[in-house]
Amino acid sequence: MGSRGPARKPDVLKIHEGNRGHRSINLPAGVNPTVEEPDIPKHLGREARKEWRRIVPTLLELGLLTRIDRAALALYCQAFGRMVELDIAMARRIDKLVDEGRDYYEAVDSVHISYAASGYSQMSARASTIRSYREEVLRYLAQFGLSPSARARVTPSNNQLSLPGMDKPATAWQKFAS
């Protein structure tokens, strides 16, 4: 089950917008490990490594990644990598069937749908596996605030030197105050 009600706005964003609700803000609450890049695990596949290299700089910039997040990030990257690899394999299978003379849409159907001996159609094992990886990737994305609805539910570590995006608004407020 997901969280009820609208997503909570992060305290950092409340400060940035001026805390219009005048509710108390508790920035140092919780565990705040130092923001730093974890080592990339050696067991990650090719596509998982690509995703690790793509996403780590962004997570570091946002203050959402620490060394203790290594396992969770590895799980996300591995699920993402497997999903991509299976998508590519399925696309290649479709291309091969088309090269053999089948209609494109028939090839897509034969790769995504399998038929039992009784004639009933069902999702192929490949398509089902890709679907489960997609669901798994979505769950991991939420852990790091990497989906639009999950962004407000994550809190950056406040052990970083400065919060991303906070320097410019602070300067702008100082201009109005003087």
The three-point CA angle 154-155-156 to 5° equals 125
Q: What is the widest separation between alpha-carbon atoms in the chain?
A: 80
Q: Residues near 145 by Cβ (< 8 Å), separated by ≥ 6?
A: 62, 64, 151, 152, 153, 154
The three-point CA angle 133-139-145 to 5° equals 130
pTM over 0.85: no
CA 158 to CA 79: how far, in whole Å?
A: 29
Tens-of-pLDDT digits for all 178 residues of the chain?
556 777 666 666 666 677 777 777 665 555 577 888 999 999 999 999 999 999 999 988 888 888 889 999 999 999 999 999 999 999 999 999 999 999 999 999 999 998 888 889 899 999 999 999 999 999 998 888 887 777 777 767 665 545 455 554 444 444 444 4
Domain chopping of the chain, boundaries = 32-166
